[in-house]
Structure 1
Amino acid sequence: MAKLKAQTLPLKRSGLIPNNEALPVLVYDGVFAGQTEEIERTFQRHQWSNSWTGGVLSYHHYHSNTHEVLGVKSGKADILIGGEEGQKLTIRAGDVLVLPAGTGHKNEAASEDFQVIGAYPNGSSFNMRKSSPEDYKQAEQEIPAVPLPKTDPVYGDSGPLLEVWYS
C-alpha cells in the first residue's frame, strides 16, 4: 500500500443534514489499488471494526453517534457527500472515505459490482439518521460527543486522519 495524502473536504450544514463543521471528510484515492482484499483486515488491525460489506444507500443518511470508514472493494459509484448542496465524488475500487459523525452520504449511481466495506472506530454501533427535523435535533446533541478515533483506519498510529483531525 502506497502512502498517500488524503484529500480533505470540509462541509457545512446542508438543510437537515448536519455534516461536521469541525472535521473534514478524508478521501484516500487508490490507497488499496490492486489490494482490495486487504481493506477489511487493515481496518480491523487499526481498531476499526463492526464491519459490513454492501452498497451505499440511495438516499441521504448519516450517523450521528460514530465516525465511519468506507473502503471500495469493487466497482465504482458516484456518491453525494454532504447533502443536496454537497460534493459529488466518483469512487473506485481501492479508494477509502472517512466520514466524520454527521456527514450525509448518498449513492447517486453505481456499477453493478459496486461494493464497499464499512467499519467504525473501536467497533462502535452506528445509528441511522435521515434528513428530518427530529433526527437533526438529536444529532445536534450527539455529534459533539463523538470521540476522535485513536487510529487512522488505513495507517494506524500515523496517517492523514491523525494529522488533520487532531490539528
Structure 2
Amino acid sequence: MGILESLKKATEQATGIARPRKQELAEFVKMKKPLEFRFKDDGLVPNHPFWPFVVYRGAVRSVEQFDSAAVLEELFEANGWSSGWRDGIYHYVHYHSRKNKVLGVAGGTGKVRFGGNRGRTLSWKAGDMAVLPAGTGHQCFSASVGFLVVGAYPASDAYDECTTAQEHERALRTIPKLAVNARIRSMGAKCRWCQCGKNEA
C-alpha cells in the first residue's frame, strides 16, 4: 500500500486534484472531547513520563470530492506536523524516543494497541486521530483491507524507531529532553493537534 499511496500523494500534490485548499480545512474538523491515557513504563516501552496519549474519535469528517488522506495531510501540515506519510501501522511494538507523532485514520478499520504490553487496545476507524508523545508504544493487531493511516511529526525533531530493551535506557534519557510541541502543550479551548480556534465539544 505504501508505494501506491506515495504515487497517489505525489500526483495530488502536483495537480491539486482531490486535495483541499488551506482555507477549506476548518470545514473538515469536528471538535470532540479527547480521551486521554497515561501508560506506565513496561520495561520495553517507556511511554512518556509526563504527557498523555490523546485520542480524538471522529475528529475529521470525509467529503466525497476530496481524498481523506490528503485532508489529513493538509490539516497536519497547516498545524506544524510535517514529514507526513501514508501506510498502515507496524505489527510489532515500537516507539519513537526523539519525536512526537500525530496519526489519523483515512480509511478502513484496525485494532491498534498503544502503550506497550500494559497499554490499551483501541478499535480505530476513518476520522479517528491520536497524538502520541515520544515514547508511546504502538502496534497494529489487525486491520481491514484498506486500513490507511496518515502520520506526521514536528519538523525539527530527529526520527528514530525503538523496538528493543537495549534502546530503553537511552530512551529514558532522551524523551524528557524533547521540546514540548505546541500541539501537545495546548490544554485549553483549542484542540491539541490543531490551532483552529474552535471550542472542544
TM range (shorter): 0.7 to 0.9
Q: 39-48 vs 9-18, which deviates more?
A: 9-18
**Structure 1 portions without partners, runs of 5+:** 163-167
Q: Aligned-pair distance for 1:123?
A: 5.4
Q: Aligned-pair distance for 1:122?
A: 2.9
Report the count of equivalent residues.
157
SS at match of 1:84: helix
* Equivalent runs, 1:36-51 vs 2, <5 Å: 36=68, 37-51=70-84
Q: What is residue 136 of structure 1 aligned with on the other side?
A: 168
Q: Residue by residue, what CA displacement relative to the aligned partner does 1:33-59 show, whole Å, maximum 9, x if unpaired?
A: 324341110000001000000010000
**C-alpha distance in 1 between matches for 2:108 and 2:49:** 30
Matched, 1:9 2:9: no
Q: What is residue 25 of structure 2 aligned with on the other side?
A: none
More helix by percentage: 2
Question: Does the CA contact (< 8 Å) of 2:30 and 2:61 recur in 1?
Answer: no
Moved over 6 A (4+): none
The one-letter amino acid of 1:7's match is L
Identity across the alignment (%): 33
Question: Does the CA contact (< 8 Å) of 1:151 and 1:158 recur in 2?
Answer: no
SS at match of 1:89: strand
Match of 2:127 among 94, 100, 108: 94
TM-score under structure 1 normalisation? 0.88
More strand by percentage: 1
Q: Aligned-pair distance for 1:15?
A: 2.6
For the pair shown, the structure with the greater C-alpha radius of gyration is 2
The one-letter amino acid of 1:141's match is R
Q: What is residue 18 of structure 1 aligned with on the other side?
A: 46
SS at match of 1:49: strand
Higher relative contact order (CA 8 A, sep 6+): 1
Matched, 1:34 2:62: yes
Matched, 1:81 2:81: no
Q: Aligned-pair distance for 1:3?
A: 1.4
The one-letter amino acid of 2:180's match is L
**C-alpha distance in 1 between matches for 2:32 and 2:165:** 38
Q: 32-41 vs 101-110, which deviates more?
A: 32-41
TM-score under structure 2 normalisation? 0.73
Q: What is residue 63 of structure 1 aligned with on the other side?
A: 96
Matched, 1:121 2:121: no
Question: Alpha carbon RMSD of aligned pairs, Å?
Answer: 1.8
Q: Residue by residue, what CA displacement relative to the aligned partner does 1:5-40 show, whole Å, maximum 9, x if unpaired?
A: 211011111131101131110001001132434111
Question: Quick one: structure 1 residues 2 and 161, their matched pair in 2 at CA, closer, same or farther if it must change by over 3 Å?
Answer: closer
Question: Quick one: structure 1 residues 24 and 6, their matched pair in 2 at CA, closer, same or farther if it must change by over 3 Å?
Answer: same
**C-alpha distance in 2 between matches for 1:124 and 1:75:** 29
